[in-house]
Each structure stands twice: as structure tokens, then as C-alpha cells.
A and B are shown apart, each in its own frame.
Chain A
């Protein structure tokens, strides 16, 4: 990966602080992939699957006094949900539909949220006027408002996206606004010296310096948007069948392995979307930003 290579080369001169001849390091490859970086996550997975299996095989019956089929073993889930071609087909189709809703939702949130943050960054009184409503929108119990939205706007595609936007716009606004307002004062001085306009300042200083914060907002919003899409589906039964509906159907029919299979898939969708924005963030700001190493 070129990104990794870039990070490697930067470490050397910063440490030596030596001025002059040979700054950009010839690059040691030390510390690129330590065994623990791979073994750690594998160990985590083993422990997780182990606990799951223990739940199925022992805890459920002996501690909670419930039948073990309520938590099928991981092997059963893989066998019934993922190795069965028909079930797998249904699930992937539903997952695709949910992903489409979630991504449309986060896209709308990005546009609306970024514009809102830019407007709010212009004056303290504008910021103060908007905040209460944003916090209120964030505080609304989404389960309570979904049926109301459905009654008002109909149970269609647009309303599903609206649910995603309501749940995901807040972190975009707050992170973007924070980023826009935390541009370095001495960098602001550079623009003041040249009498730069508000617009120039926004485009050439505030937005670029806010990109790391902005991408953090996008990542959080993307995860929330997936939740919004799945929750919305529990109420919206017309139109395409998403993973949330499918999960509910499996549960209703007592198909426990399939229910868990769908559950895992929908959370994997959240992880995938989160990682996609992490990757995008690295792509855009990785070359110049100080702390891109920690993000996934």
C-alpha cells in the first residue's frame, strides 16, 4: 500500500529534526505488520465464537433454564443461513436493499449536514438558533417516530431515507461544525493579512482543515444510517424487502439459525460501511494528516 509507505518515510526526519540535507528517510520497514496485529483480532474472534458456542451448549439451559435452540450454535447458523443457497440468496438480496436505503440516507445527511454546518459556522447567533433542533432531532426515540412519519409521508422509499437522515445527520453537523471552527488562529492570521474574503477562508482554510473531523462524522453517521435503515424496515412492509424485515420474518417463523444469520449480516453491513468511510478518509487526508494510522 502506498499509504503505508508514505507514513513510513515521514517518521525519520520528524524524529531527528535535523535541518538540511537528507530528510525523507530511506525507509525502514520495521513495525509494518507485527504478528500481534494479526493475532489479536484472530484471538478476539476465537473468544467471541467460543462464548457464543458456550451460550448454546451450556449457559442457556443451565443458567437461564431456556431451550438451547434459542441460541443456535455458530456451526448451525453457518450451515442453515449461509451454506443454504436459497436462504443465502434471500439474505444477500435483502442486505443489498437495506444497504441502498442506508447509503442514500447517509448521502442525504452528508449534503444536508455539511450545508447546515457551513451556515452555522458563519455566526454564533445562527449556530445557537439551530442547535436546540438538532439536539431534539437526535434525542427523538426513533422507534416512536417511525410510525408517525409513515402515517404522514407514507410508508415508501423516501420515508425510509428520512428515518436514516434523522438518525444520522447530527454527528455530521456537529463534527463538521467543530472542524470548521477549530482552524488554527495563526493560520487564520495568514488569511487576515491578505484580506481574504469569507468564502476564500471557507474554501482554502476552514474546509480543508476540517476534513479529518468531517470524515469522523461521516463514519459515525454511516453506522447510524444502517441502524436507521434496519429499524425503519420493521415498520415499512411495502416495497423491497430489507434485512430487517427478513430477520423479523425468520424470528416469527421460529427459524432461529436464519434469524441469527441475518443479524450477523446486518451488523457486518454496518462494519463494512464504517470501514469504507475509514478507507475513504485515509485516501483523502492520509498523505498530510498526522494521525491516520489509528483509523481502520
Chain B
């Protein structure tokens, strides 16, 4: 590894500090592949930041480093890991558990008291619209419903910062847009900060307060767009000229990133 800057371990932020800070984070895999160039940015509490970028540009690596699933080669991450939610690309439900017990998984692993856990599970199952499906198994549900369960599993932990790794990428467009609308509802209600990864520019602009554009491997941030539209955002926003214009700008930047 040629980088010899600060090889600091990602650290856990001081108690009470919220938000997510990447400081000069880079990642070189053991085989020498440089996945991520030095990257610095911050997600403020209550901010919805989305990263768009070409495949394999290290977007997911950023999230894995933030959550501690992967280690940065250089640089540091400041975040309260205990207050972190993580929604993966696939629903990653445990197929032998009912929806209720899947939603309870994180709380169970965190040894949350039983009564509190049951209360939160019931509440969040209702919130994501899975009431009546608590005793079904994952294979009995559609892709969109499985994703809802996955969302509820993290919501139970009431995270301050939510990491989303292309959660709706595998869903059809109608389902995706519906889940986007609902996600924004939760974002407004719960006030978490979010770092969201997607391939879809429309999804990025619709959801975010800020869109970051990443370059091809090794990934780095090459563009940043403030999204001016106020919340709550109506589904119809997607068809407004200003929305389309901003999508065009992001797309233009992304094209440059591919080159």
C-alpha cells in the first residue's frame, strides 16, 4: 500500500455527537485494487445525502467502512456506531424466521428488553405497512414487502444515521417510487440523517437534501448538488421542470465521472 498518511482506525464519536464524518477515508483491497481514493464529507443530523456513481466506484465500500464491516486503509470515520441503521441491497432476511422475528433481530442481538422490543417491533411493522404479515415467512412475501421488513428491522433501533445501500435497486419502478415516498415520510417523522446509495438519479434527487457524484474507480467525490425542494415532497415533484433540470445537471456530472 503506497498511502502513508494517517492510518487511523475508524473511531467512535463522543457520546451525544450525531452525524457522520468521513475524513480522508480511502480503501485499497489486499489484492491491490484501489477502491476508494481519499474522501472527505459529512452527513449532518437530519440531512439526507445521496451518492450516485458508476458501478464499482466504491460507494458500498464507504458504507461498509462507516458501519465497521470494513476497515479504511487511511483516514477516519466519526460516527456513533450504536446509533447506526443499515439497509442492505438485498433484504437479507433470515428465511427461517417469520417477519415479526426478522424485524426483531437487531433488537434481539442488542439484548433490548423483551417488552420494549415487542412494542417497537409491532409499531414498526405497522409503520412499514406489514400489519397482518407478521407470521409469514420471507419466501411468502414479494420483493417490495421483504424490503419493507428489512427497513423495519433497522427502524426498530431508532437510528440517528441510516445507511442505505441501493435498497430499492432490484424493485420495479412503481414499487420503488412508492417506497421512496414512504421513506421520506419516515425521514420527516423520525428525523434521522441518511446516507443513501443509488444508481437512479431521479431517486437521488427526489429523496435528498444533497446529492454527491462519485467518479469511477478509484472512487472520489467529483460533484455536489444542493437540492432546493422543500419537504414534504409530493410524488408529483418528479414531473416538474425544475426537478428535471436538476436531474439533468447531475446526469451531466455523472457522465463526466464515467469518462
Contacts and interface: CB of A to CB of B under 8 A. Distances in A.
Contacts, number: 92
A13 B140 contact: yes
A190 B105 contact: yes
Q: Is the interface of A mostly helix, strand, loop or mixed?
A: helix
Interface stretch (A18-26, A111-119, A134-142): A18-26
B109 interface: yes
Contacts of B95: 209, 288-290
A235 to B, nearest CB: 43
A180 to B, nearest CB: 14
A202 B141 CA distance: 26
B145 A19 contact: yes
B137 interface: yes
A186 B88 contact: yes
B139 A193 contact: no
Interface size class of B (residues with CB under 8 A): 35 or more
Interface residues of A, number: 32
Contacts of A156: none
Contacts of B172: 17, 19
A124 interface: no
Contact of A189 (B92, B139, B142, B144): B92
A251 interface: no
Interface of A: 9-10, 13-14, 16-20, 23-24, 184, 186-187, 189-194, 196, 200, 204-205, 208-209, 211, 285, 287-290
Given A189-B92, A200-B109, 16 more contacts: A13-B141, A17-B143, A18-B175, A19-B142, A19-B179, A20-B129, A20-B144, A20-B178, A24-B136, A24-B140, A184-B92, A209-B95, A285-B96, A288-B96, A289-B96, A290-B139
Interface of B: 67-69, 84, 86, 88-90, 92, 94-97, 105-106, 109-110, 129, 133, 136-145, 171-172, 174-175, 178-179
